Amino acid sequence: MPSRLTLIATGIALSLGAGSVFAQLQTETVEYQVDGESYTGYLAWNDSYEGPRPGVLVVHEWWGHNEFARDQAEKLAAAGYTAFALDMYGSGKLADHPRDAMAFMEAATADLDSVVNRFTAAMNILKQHETVDSNRIAAQGYCFGGAVVLNMARLGMDLAGVVSYHGSLGSPIEVSPGEISARIQVYTGGADPMVPADQVAGFVDSMMKAEADFTVTSFPGVRHSFTNPGADRFAADFDMPVGFDQGAAERSWNGTMQFYQEIFQD
């Protein structure tokens, strides 16, 4: 791993099930530099698995790299993957109000090259981890992060697959047939005003024209941020059209696990 990376082990080990053999979850906070700026990510893996395994990048919601993103990395580790919850905003940039989240998101996406550089730096960290098979990498994102991983697929990033949960589906990136190599899964809420039906239809049309391998699942009556248990608090505190939906969260996660089994099979 490049010497400029400062790795800080957190030393967390959790029991993941009953029986005589206990799976151990290991986590590590990673401070790294991109274009002279500091970023803080979070690695998680299960040391009960032997040998290299697929790696999955986790891209946070517009709130920033928070506990929810780290929780998703730990869930992936429990399932046998090595996950890296990356940071797209910069160390310490974590929003607790929508206006701050919007400001962070707009600053992060003002320059597409910067988005690519931040994503690529995180992907290189994940690939270089001793537990990871660098030829088997996927990415999943939530809200803002969902849009990020879809754009990385549109740009032809070397990913086996990407999964978007309640992410924006529109993009200024134009894609020609054959340019998308990653397989794509999209999970969206049928009652999400931030990702309306016409945007979903436009995404489907663009993916068909690009001859991409993709699926879109829309959950009727489900709002934005349906995977995040904290969404109901955001709705109450800020009058936002968001809401957690346990059924949609479980179905999208189970679908993702099946998706990874398919794309990562030997």
Q: What is the pLDDT of residues 151-177, one digit of tens each?
A: 999 999 999 999 999 999 999 999 999
User: Tell me, what's the pLDDT at 23?
Assistant: 58
β-strand 183-189 against 161-165: which pairing, if any?
parallel
User: Tell me, what's the pLDDT at 178?
Assistant: 94
Class of domain 6-263: alpha beta
Per-residue pLDDT reduced to its tens digit, 193-236: 999 999 999 999 999 999 999 999 999 999 999 999 999 999 99
Q: Residues in the chain with pLDDT < 70?
A: 1-23, 266
The contacts of residue 249 (CB under 8 Å, 6+ apart) are 226, 227
User: Tell me, what's the pLDDT at 266?
Assistant: 55
Integer angstrom CA distances of residue 98 from 103, 110, 222, 237: 9, 18, 21, 10
User: Tell me, what's the pLDDT at 204?
Assistant: 98
Look up the pTM and report it.
0.91
